Amino acid sequence: MSRHIYIMGIAMSEVTGGVGRAMRNQAEMFLAAGHKVSMITFSHYDTRETIENVYSSGDLPRSVEVLNPNVDMVAAWAEAEKRNAGLGSPTPKLSLLLGLKKLWNTQKSKAPGESASGSSNATHVVKQKLPHGGEETTVLTEGGNTYLVRRPYGDSGTEAPVQVFHPDGQVSEYPSVTNWRIEWLESVFSNATGNDAIVVNYPTEVPLLARANVGPARKLWVIHNNVWDPPYCPGSEIRSNYRWALKAHKKIDVIVTLTDQQEDDIKTLLGRDGGITTVNNITALPPLPSVDKDVNLVSLVGRLVEQKAVHESIEAFALIAPRFPQARFEIYGRGSCESDLKKLVKQRDLERQITFKGFTTNPRDVMARSVCTVSSSLYEGQPLNILESNAMATPVAAYDCRYGPSGLIEDGVTGRIVPQGDRQALANAIADMLGNPTGAAQMGTEARHRIEQHNTAKAVTADWEKAFSLADHLHQPQEIHNGGTP
């Protein structure tokens, strides 16, 4: 059965991130399976230009329509601005609108004569600190007109009522920006059918989807990451960005996990036997690039953030660096921990052997050249860096974090997996592959074969079809009224 599948994310800027890449892979897979695919985003940083850039870069097929309430508002305003271009004064409706904007803007903390457009960035978003605390966000059209004002309450800076300014002079007020987004989402699905399915990929969007009345459209949520606080296992507190999502689970038809282990954990956590299923992440399996293996090269490609614990990989490499003076460890990526990581390398006097290469647009070439790659994350869902390295026939030395590495790596057969936090074991795993590049190449070949069996679009499509069929079976009509409020 052909469906219309809506992939829900945060912003098109996230398409190049881990979850964003997974969403792009979903889109390409669903298209190949004969489904119609749309992308739903909510960020006001998405504009027609940013969306066009994603299309032009090849990150998203042009046949995938991108839907966003902010883009819709800007388009409506653009038509009004075009109709009124060159007029000596605004139309009556626009005069009313400008008066309302002026009334609202008198509450802003602005220096005399300061221009909103002068402080906006390329995406027409102005953020200002308020005297009583918190931050006000004003979102502008391409013509410089305000279409959304969002203010915090009190000193907490939490979400508060918003005003939406329409080009016909109407002003809509909502308890929060979420309520506006729900109203817009419900309009998108006002004529939904049972062949429509929404696949949400970020926990922050799950409560929104759960509250929205999307008619007979099926609701599915992919959990892309570990939901626990340290030590990242059952019994720990739930991570803050997952708490509301998990509370809303009963209004989601099917929850998709990426590993069997996480499926079992989520079933136990929620006390939910049905409506949870496992579908592997997918990755492309292109021909191997025409690059030579560098038997002295170890690499890591990923975000330099706390979750990835890149310092663990650096410390492990430091343990073996004297034994392999010709070995090099190249680190690709950027993030909040980059400065501290560079300081660590300097402290270990390893600046000759460990180098930071910044963001790369060709991670597969880097992986293909390496004798092995390294993953030392504190937690994951099913790490794409391991999938992509294995797809390039390059084995991975990895910590056995929850979740993913143990399902992707068979120790000594497709790579090396060691206990979480055991730096010496990780160092030994890297040393084994540096010392035996032929054996490492053999593990890489087997790893690529496993990816072809379990993680290509061809292998994963059938599991997604089962997930959609399960959603068909479990879907219950939703009685929701008043702009998405149960």
SS (H, E, C) 417-430: EECCCCHHHHHHHH
The closest alpha carbon to 17, from 63, 56, 54, belongs to 54
Picking from 119, 149, 175, the residue at the C-terminal end of a domain is 175
Same domain, residue pair 341 and 447: yes
Same domain, residue pair 359 and 440: yes
CA–CA gap between residue 83 and residue 424 (Å, rounded): 69
- Asked whether 285 and 448 are in contact (CB, 8 A), the reply is yes
Same domain, residue pair 227 and 305: no
Q: Tally the C-alpha atoms within 13 A of residue 126's C-alpha that lie toward its C-beta.
A: 24
pLDDT of the residue at 86: 46
Same domain, residue pair 353 and 426: yes
Residue 334 domain-assigned (yes or no): yes
The closest alpha carbon to 81, from 143, 138, 165, 139, belongs to 143
Same domain, residue pair 305 and 451: yes
The SS3 call for residue 354 is strand
Residue 311 domain-assigned (yes or no): yes
pLDDT of the residue at 478: 64
CATH of the domain at 17: 3.40.50.2000
Strands 36-40 and 4-8, sheet pairing: parallel
Q: What is the secondary structure of 208-266 as a DSSP string?
A: HHHHS--TT-EEEEE--S--BPTTTSBTBPBPHHHHHHHHTGGGSSEEEESSHHHHHHH
- Asked whether 457 and 32 are in contact (CB, 8 A), the reply is yes
Residue 195 domain-assigned (yes or no): yes
- Using a 10 angstrom Cβ sphere, with 0-12 exposed, 13-18 middle and 19 or more buried, the burial of residue 311 is middle
pLDDT by residue, tens only, the chain of 486 residues:
899 999 998 887 655 567 888 898 999 999 999 999 999 999 888 888 888 988 998 889 999 999 999 999 888 888 888 887 644 333 333 333 444 343 334 333 332 222 333 333 334 778 888 777 777 888 888 778 888 888 775 544 456 789 999 988 899 999 888 999 999 999 999 999 999 999 999 999 999 999 999 999 999 999 999 999 999 999 999 999 999 999 999 999 999 999 999 999 999 999 998 899 999 999 989 999 999 999 999 999 999 999 999 999 999 999 999 999 999 999 999 999 999 999 999 999 999 999 999 999 899 999 999 999 999 999 999 999 999 999 999 999 999 999 999 999 999 999 999 999 999 999 999 999 999 999 999 999 999 999 999 999 989 999 999 999 999 999 977 654 444 443
pLDDT of the residue at 88: 36
- Asked whether 46 and 11 are in contact (CB, 8 A), the reply is yes
CA–CA gap between residue 373 and residue 355 (Å, rounded): 14
Same domain, residue pair 341 and 380: yes
Same domain, residue pair 368 and 252: no
- Asked whether 433 and 417 are in contact (CB, 8 A), the reply is no
Strands 276-278 and 125-129, sheet pairing: unpaired
- Using a 10 angstrom Cβ sphere, with 0-12 exposed, 13-18 middle and 19 or more buried, the burial of residue 227 is buried
CA–CA gap between residue 300 and residue 357 (Å, rounded): 10
Residue 72 domain-assigned (yes or no): no
Same domain, residue pair 332 and 448: yes
Q: What is the secondary structure of 379-395 as a DSSP string?
A: B-SS-HHHHHHHHTT--
Same domain, residue pair 299 and 327: yes
- The domain total for the chain is 3
pTM score over 0.85:
yes
Distance of CA 470 to the CA centre of its chain: 25
CA–CA gap between residue 259 and residue 128 (Å, rounded): 43
- Asked whether 375 and 349 are in contact (CB, 8 A), the reply is no
Same domain, residue pair 62 and 202: yes
Picking from 211, 244, 278, the residue at the C-terminal end of a domain is 278
Same domain, residue pair 321 and 410: yes
Residue 77 domain-assigned (yes or no): no
Domain that holds residue 348: 294-455
The secondary structure of residue 158, as a DSSP letter, is B
